Amino acid sequence: MTPLAEPVARLLGRAAGTPVVVRIPRAEALPVVIRTWRDEAEILGALHGVLPHVPECLVKRENAVIHSYVPGVPLSSLCGNGKPVDGLMLKALAGLLARMAQVRREALPPLPADWPRNDKDGQAFLRTLAHLADRQIRQPNWAAYGGLFAALGVPGDALTRLAGRVPAMARRPYSLLHTDLHRDNVIVPTAATRHWSASTGNWRRTAIPCTTWPRTSYGCGTRPSSGTR
pLDDT single digits (tens) 114-164:
999 999 999 999 999 999 999 999 999 999 999 999 999 999 999 999 999
Return all residues near 113 (Cβ < 8 A) that are at least 6 apart.
none
Q: Span 2-14, mean pLDDT?
A: 91
> Which is higher by pLDDT, 147 or 193?
147
Query: Is 218:108 a contact under the CB 8 Å cutoff?
Result: yes
User: What does the pLDDT look like over 215-226, one tens digit per residue?
Assistant: 899 998 777 766
Residue 188 has pLDDT above 90, yes or no: no
Dist. CA 223–CA 205, nearest whole Å:
34
Instruction: Say what the pTM is.
Output: 0.82
Where in the chain does DSSP place strands (E)? Answer: 2-3, 19-23, 57-60, 65-68, 73-74, 175-178, 187-188, 194-197, 202-205, 216-219
Cα 64 from chain centroid (whole Å): 19
CB contact at 8 A, 204 and 92:
no
pLDDT score, position 143? 94
At residue 87, the 3 state secondary structure works out as helix
> Rg of the Cα trace of the chain?
21
Q: Which of 206, 216, 173 is nearest to 44 (CA)?
A: 216
**Separation between Cα atoms, residue 116 and residue 102, nearest integer Å:** 19
Question: Quick count: other Cβ atoms within 10 Å of Cβ 195?
Answer: 10
Sign of the C-alpha dihedral, residues 15, 17, 20, 26? positive
b/e 50-63 (16+ beta carbons within 10 angstroms → b): ebbbbbebbebeee
Q: Kindly list the domain boundaries of the chain, sorted by start residue.
A: 37-46+72-219
| Cα 116 from Cα 127, distance rounded (Å) | 9
SS3 82: coil
